[in-house]
A and B are shown apart, each in its own frame.
Chain A
Amino acid sequence: AQSVSQHNHHVILSEAASLELGCNYSYGGTVNLFWYVQYPGQHLQLLLKYFSGDPLVKGIKGFEAEFIKSKFSFNLRKPSVQWSDTAEYFCAVTSKGGKFQFGAGTQVVVTP
Chain B
Amino acid sequence: GAGVSQSPSNKVTEKGKDVELRCDPISGHTALYWYRQSLGQGLEFLIYFQGNSAPDKSGLPSDRFSAERTGGSVSTLTIQRTQQEDSAVYLCASSLGGYNQPQHFGDGTRLSIL
For residue A32, CB closer than 8 A to chain B, the reply is yes
* Residues of B participating in the A interface, judged by any CB pair closer than 8 Å: 3-4, 33, 35, 40-43, 45, 48, 56, 58-59, 91, 93, 99-100, 102-108
Residue contact B33 to A100, C-beta cutoff 8 Å:
yes
Residue contact A49 to B45, C-beta cutoff 8 Å:
no
* Residues of A participating in the B interface, judged by any CB pair closer than 8 Å: 9, 32, 34, 36, 42-46, 49, 51, 90, 94-105
Residue contact A100 to B103, C-beta cutoff 8 Å:
yes
Given A90-B43, A102-B43, A105-B42: A46 touches B102 (CB 8 Å cut-off): yes
Q: How many A-B residue pairs have CB under 8 A?
A: 51
The 19 listed contacts between A and B (C-beta, < 8 Å) are A9-B40, A32-B99, A34-B102, A43-B4, A43-B105, A43-B108, A44-B91, A44-B93, A44-B105, A46-B102, A46-B103, A90-B42, A90-B43, A96-B99, A99-B45, A99-B59, A100-B45, A102-B35, A105-B43
| Shortest distance between the CB of A59 and any CB in chain B (Å) | 11
